[in-house]
Amino acid sequence: MSLIYLGIFLLLSYFSPFIISALILGVFLSMLIEAPQNLFSKFMNSKLSALLSHVLVLGLVLYAAITFFPLVINEGRKLFSMLSSLTIPQEEAMAQLPEWLVTFINDLNKNLSDFALGLMNQLLSSIPNLITSAIVLVVTTTAIGSLKKITKNNLWKLYPVNDREKGLKFMKDTYSQFERFVHGQFLAAIIVGTFIGLMSFLFRIPSAFFLGILAWITDFIPYLGVVISAVPLLMLAFTENGLVGLIIGIAILTTANQLEMWFLQPKIQSNALNLHWFVIIISILLFGDLFSFLGIFIALPIVVYLRNFWEYFVIKIK
């Protein structure tokens, strides 16, 4: 039955990625909301802490989503406008270069700029769909959070009587493992986001608050999140401060990555998923290729699901 449920989920993910993406991200965000909610509940009643956590997390996610694309498009136009106007001098220091090489480089810069501007225009046209997706995500997150208790109480209906006890233990253990991972990642992401935002502010990179929030959100995407947060940071650093700004931006990202890799992940996560880094990378790339953006988020839960299935029902060590 566990494999049947997994097969149904994968089929739905492949043929209806938009709905499944909203559901998965809703579950993911509901886990994120629980982390500050547990903290706030120590100082206020449960209902107020839940409301405050929803407003805080969802508000920051919406802010980052609404800000990201216009900022990248605007800075991208600046960047590629600079590249398109960049020509290599054919006199003095560059006089010894062959004329065909100079022409080739100038044409390459122009073609790259035209391609990038076309890509930016396509992104601009897709913003309404992205905003709609964000709204659906918020609604889904709220609904899943309120239905979690109902789902937990009715989970026993997924298994026949003779396998019910072990099946329920398998499902709950798999969910709790990934939930512990998300809660640990929440703390690590806050530290990374604060570091990037603070360093951006100190080195006068524009939109430092947005860059910190974006780094916090994308830090939940293993290995690939740093690429997403690096795009606007490096673009802003270069368009505002030139080559020096670009070097500073790379230094900030590298330091944050090393801080997380060598200190935050080992200390905070304590091997919550107990998966080798190579397995994590391959699973993300594989599921990303099969299910596009959705695959990045379902990769680790499915790998943990299969690992636990093997330990529960095949070699029976749990």
Measure the CA–CA gap between 297 and 72, rounded to whole angstroms.
Answer: 23
- Three-class SS of residue 151? helix
Note the pLDDT of residue 210: 92
Q: Is the pLDDT of residue 163 over 90?
A: no
**Nearest C-alpha neighbor of 33 from the set 259, 228, 270, 220:** 220
Measure the CA–CA gap between 268 and 311, rounded to whole angstroms.
Answer: 25
More confident residue, 278 or 194: 194
Measure the CA–CA gap between 301 and 50, rounded to whole angstroms.
Answer: 25
Q: Residue 82 corresponds to which tokens in the numbers above?
A: 């600079």
Task: Fill in the amino acid letter for 189.
Answer: A
Q: Is the pLDDT of residue 231 over 60?
A: yes
Measure the CA–CA gap between 318 and 312, rounded to whole angstroms.
Answer: 5
More confident residue, 262 or 119: 262
Q: Is the pLDDT of residue 55 over 80?
A: yes
Note the pLDDT of residue 114: 58
Task: Fill in the amino acid letter for 219.
Answer: D
Q: Are 177 and 304 in contact (CB under 8 A)?
A: yes
Banded model confidence at residue 267, pLDDT cuts 50, 70, 90 = low
* Residue 222 phi, psi dihedral angles, 5° rounding: -60, 130
Note the pLDDT of residue 90: 47
Q: Are 30 and 148 in contact (CB under 8 A)?
A: yes
CB atoms within 10 A of CB 184: 19
Tell me the residue ranges of DSSP E strands in the chain: none
pLDDT digits (tens, 9 = 90+) for 7-17: 999 998 888 88
Note the pLDDT of residue 19: 75
Task: Fill in the amino acid letter for 111.
Answer: N
Measure the CA–CA gap between 90 and 112, rounded to whole angstroms.
Answer: 21
pLDDT digits (tens, 9 = 90+) for 94-117: 555 566 655 665 665 555 555 555
DSSP 8-state symbol, 222:
T
CB atoms within 10 A of CB 165: 11
Q: Is the pLDDT of residue 66 over 80?
A: yes
More confident residue, 303 or 221: 303
Note the pLDDT of residue 224: 64
Measure the CA–CA gap between 250 and 272, rounded to whole angstroms.
Answer: 29
- Three-class SS of residue 236? helix
How far from 179 is each of 63, 311, 315, CA to CA, in Å? 24, 19, 25
Query: Residue 252: which residues within 8 A CB-CB, separation 6 or more?
Result: 196, 199, 200, 203, 233
CB atoms within 10 A of CB 167: 20
Q: Is the pLDDT of residue 137 over 70?
A: no
Q: Is the pLDDT of residue 157 over 70?
A: yes
The pTM is what? 0.72
Task: Fill in the amino acid letter for 159.
Answer: Y
Q: Is the pLDDT of residue 76 over 80?
A: no
Q: What b/e readout covers 40-63, taking b as 16+ CB neighbours within 10 angstroms?
A: bbeeeeeeebbebbbeebbebbee
